[in-house]
Structure 1
Amino acid sequence: MSWILLIIAGIFEVGFATCLGKAREADTNTTLWMTGFFICLGLSMYLLYKASLEIPLGTAYAVWTGIGAVGTVLIGIFVFKEPYSFLRILFLCTLVGSIVGLKMVSSH
């Protein structure tokens, strides 16, 4: 169950980064995006805390950060039209492999 909470926490991390990006883009009414940012931030931190009660903190934090980084890069590419290259995708895949590796060697 802790791993599921950690994955959801990572998804909310992507959510708060996305809301921050949209608030930065918005010409008017950034309040809606900033509200989404703070809701996602709070949920992400709470779920990270809950997951870290059973998963070692270093592993939980690394996985949470990795999920957030991968998700945020993908949102950047597909939503914000950020540039992508072979090397960027290669290193993103390397990061995903590292996250999976941490899960595989974790005792929980």
Structure 2
Amino acid sequence: MELELPATSNSSTADLILELDKVASENSHTMDNLDGENSHTMDNLDGENSHTMDNLDGENSHTMDNLDGENSHTMDNLDGENSHTMDNLDGENSHTMDNLDGENSHTMDNNLDGENSHT
């Protein structure tokens, strides 16, 4: 991609850094407010979509991956599917809750071994 430098020679270093950051972080923030697809997508560190939100259809209304590339938090508030899924350490779903349809209303693995210690 071609970088267009500011026209004035007196541009501050901060302005140049901001311009470079715009180029380097292309597609780091995409918003589409009309159809709800990819209404908010941000990748802060590792190239994975750290935050994806779609407020219109409830699909992937909140997806975050903070450390290990697994979806550490997934929430869908409209249809009750996967309304809360969290994986804190071992890649297994340590807590899954669905408050709307009563399926998997509480599942917890406290021992970090992937087995459901409480259902």
Range class of TM-score, shorter chain: under 0.3
Question: TM-score, with normalisation over the residues of structure 2?
Answer: 0.26
Question: TM-score, with normalisation over the residues of structure 1?
Answer: 0.28
Which structure has the highest helix share of the two?
Answer: 1
Which structure has the highest strand share of the two?
Answer: 2
* Higher RCO (CA 8 Å, separation ≥ 6 residues): 1
